[in-house]
Each structure stands twice: as structure tokens, then as C-alpha cells.
Amino acid sequence: MLAIPWYFTKQINQASTFASIYSVATFLTLFWGLYAGTLIDRYPRKKIFLSICVISAIVLIGVSGYGFANGSIPILMIGFIFCFTLFNYNIHYPTLYAFGQEITEKKNYSKTNSLLEVIGQTTNVISGAVAVLLIEGVEFSSLNIRIESWDLHQIFLLDGITYILAMAIISQIKYRPIEQVRKSMGSIKVRLKEGLAFLNKNRLLFHFGNSSFTVFIFVLISMHLLWPIYIENHLEGSGEVYATTKIHYALGALLSGFFISMIFRRSNPILSIIFLSALSLIAYVTMASNKSSWVLFACALVLGITNAGIRIQRITYLFNHIPNYIIGRTNSVFQSINISLRSVLIAVFSIPFFIEDSNILITFWVAALIILISIVPLVWNYKALKALKKEK
């Protein structure tokens, strides 16, 4: 997911083509996300993880094999792999959090979410470092060592193998749910209606779930679309700068996983989300006002801290107020609204105007403005959200 955006932006100079692919793929995940939520509440979460691994390994190794056989991979096939992985995100993460809630006592929700963040971001730091080697290659002249950059079909093969390893690990997991999960046995339509009905009855949760998702929206768009263009056109940097930016982001998220629950242990999640959202706003304004890779690294670090911190606090709050039997479907509603907003924003940012010169800076000002708007309902409903009773 680091290599493909950089490949389109730097190696074949088709950032606008990638932006269009990203926009269409994001829009299509709107429908997939709703369906994925019904699967999460219907089938054992472990089986879903294993299914993801099997399908992903087949797809990635298959496309990689085509690349080895023909010497290269067509642009449409590369775009397909990006879209496929995006679809994976939209079932993997909701399943992961639903599974975490299923096996965790309420008193340990915050610890579990922090642990998931630490583990996830540790792998992100490692993958970001490896990405520098894979995308750009590296040379250590003092040691007389040179590592050549990899072709995409080689990267896809490595990625496919990691899914096989993941499948082997997941198959060995043994667990016992904290309480028996009520599986929804109705049709897809019925299951979707149940999720919507729950949020319609609990409108404060609906407003909270959407308002606290805004920073995540722009972090995703930044990583896959805005940062490659910002680095190429505004900073005139290399793939190494892009990968290093991602490493700083992951380090920030890792720090957040370790310390965010400790820092805000005496305050409620709503206040911490408002504060972290405000820090994110400042980071986007700073990126829009500077032309330094070091400033970008610092802002990526801040966004890693804030986005991961918001996610930990947000998910913990939702765990405490939404029962596990319906968590998949309610999350799919939030995801669908999130995806709709992302689709619109990506479509707008895909206009060639934003890819010219340093016009990409305007997108960061837009991000800051929308984050500011999203803070308003959190502040407005602060007392009501704070007083909302936890689900028994």
C-alpha cells in the first residue's frame, strides 16, 4: 500500500490516474462495508480472518505470478490489487475490533484496544522501514553493500506469503468468548435494518461515531493520495521521504498505543478526542504552511499519535455502549458514512488542479476546516455523551 501510490506518482507520473482509481474503489467499498458488517455479526470472527488470508494469498500470488511470467504487471491489475487491499481493510479492522470486544472483559477494553494499536503500529514501523528498501533500494558505501529496488510483482509475492504466514498463526488461536454472542440469523436486509434501528434509537452514539471519525478520514487520504503528491510536487522529495513519513506516522501511533490510555486515564474519552482532534487540525495547518521534510515528519508523528489515540478512545467508548451482537452492523453504518465522505473528497482532490505545482497545499487547509467542523458536535453534546449510561 506504500509501493502502489508511489509507483503511480513517481515512476509512471500518473498521479491523477491513481487518484481516480482510489476514488472509484473507495466508493465501491460503501456497499461492501455494509455487507461486511452483516458477515461479522453472523459468522465466527476467526473464520472470517482465515477466509481473508486464503483469498488474499491466492490473489496476490496469482498477480505476482503473472508479473514474473510477463516481466511486468499492467496498470489495471496494479490498480486492482490496491482496490482489493482496500476492500480487505473494510472487513479486517471491523472484525478485529469485534473479536477484541468478544474476548475482553469490560474493565480491560481500553487495555485491549491499546494493545491492538501497539501490535499493529509495530508492524507498520517495520513495514515502513522495509518499504524504503523495496521501493527505492539502498546503498551503504562504507560497508560496500547495495540493495536494489524491487519490482511490484516481487513485492506482491512477499505480501502474498505474509498472508500464508498469518493464516498459519491465526489457525492456532484458541479462545473462549466472555459471553455467548447472539448471532443474527435473518436475511442481509433484516440484519442491516437492525443495525440502523439501534443507531436511530441511540442518536447520541450515531453523532459521536461519525464526528470522531473525521481525523481517520484525512489520515487515510493523506497516506494514499495527498502525501505522495505533496512530497513529489511541493517538497521535490523521493520515495525514501514518503516511506520515512509513514515510519514517523507509525511511531507516533505506537507511542499513542503505549501511553494514550495512561495520559487520559483521569479524563473521559470525549474530552480526549476533542483535544486530539484539535492537535490534528494544527498538524494539517503546519504542513500547509511549510516546505520542509522534517516538518512533514514531525506532523506525521503528531497525526500518528492523534489518530491512534482517537481510535483507541473512540472504540473503547463504543464498546462500552454497543453490545457485541450488533457491533459489526453499527460499525458498518459508521464506515459507510465515512466512505461516502472519503469518496467525495478523493473525487474532488483528484481534479488535475490539485496535482499541479503546490496546489496540493489547499487540501490540507480543507482537512483542517472539516476537522474543526467535526469538533463542534462533540463539544455541543459533551455533557450528554459523558453522562450516557454504559451498556450492560
Cell of 194: 437492525
pLDDT in the model for residue 250: 82
Grade residue 303 by pLDDT with cuts at 50, 70 and 90: very high
CB atoms within 10 A of CB 110: 23
Q: Report the C-alpha gap between 97 and 102 in whole angstroms.
A: 9
pLDDT in the model for residue 262: 80
pTM over 0.85: no
Which carries the bigger pLDDT value, residue 59 or residue 143?
59
pLDDT in the model for residue 30: 75
Mean pLDDT (whole number) for 36-41? 80
Gyration radius of the chain over CA positions: 21
Which carries the bigger pLDDT value, residue 284 or residue 338?
284
Mean pLDDT (whole number) for 117-129? 74
pLDDT in the model for residue 180: 66
Cell of 248: 514517523
Assess whether pLDDT exceeds 90 at residue 160. yes
Mean pLDDT (whole number) for 217-221? 88
Cα–Cα nearest to 304, from 379, 206, 388, 223: 223
User: Please, what is the average pLDDT of the chain?
Assistant: 84
Element (H, E) at 145: strand 145-147
Mean pLDDT (whole number) for 142-162? 84
Grade residue 189 by pLDDT with cuts at 50, 70 and 90: low
Which carries the bigger pLDDT value, residue 37 or residue 383?
383
Mean pLDDT (whole number) for 302-314? 90
Grade residue 179 by pLDDT with cuts at 50, 70 and 90: low
Q: Report the C-alpha gap between 135 and 240 in whole angstroms.
A: 8
Which residues, in sequence order, are CB contacts of 61 under 8 Å at separation 6+? 156, 157, 160, 161
pLDDT in the model for residue 275: 94
236 dihedral zone (left: phi>0; alpha: psi -120 to 50; beta):
left
What is the CATH code for 3-178+185-387?
Answer: 1.20.1250.20
Share of the chain above pLDDT 90, in %: 26
Q: In the chain, where are the structural domains located?
A: 3-178+185-387
Q: What is the pLDDT of residues 239-271, one digit of tens each?
A: 778 778 888 888 888 888 788 878 887 778 899
Grade residue 142 by pLDDT with cuts at 50, 70 and 90: low
Which amino acid does the sequence have at 135? I
Mean pLDDT (whole number) for 63-67? 95
Strand, coil or helix: 146:
strand
pLDDT in the model for residue 186: 57
pLDDT in the model for residue 297: 93
Grade residue 181 by pLDDT with cuts at 50, 70 and 90: low
Assess whether pLDDT exceeds 90 at residue 62. yes
Assess whether pLDDT exceeds 70 at residue 141. no
pLDDT in the model for residue 108: 84
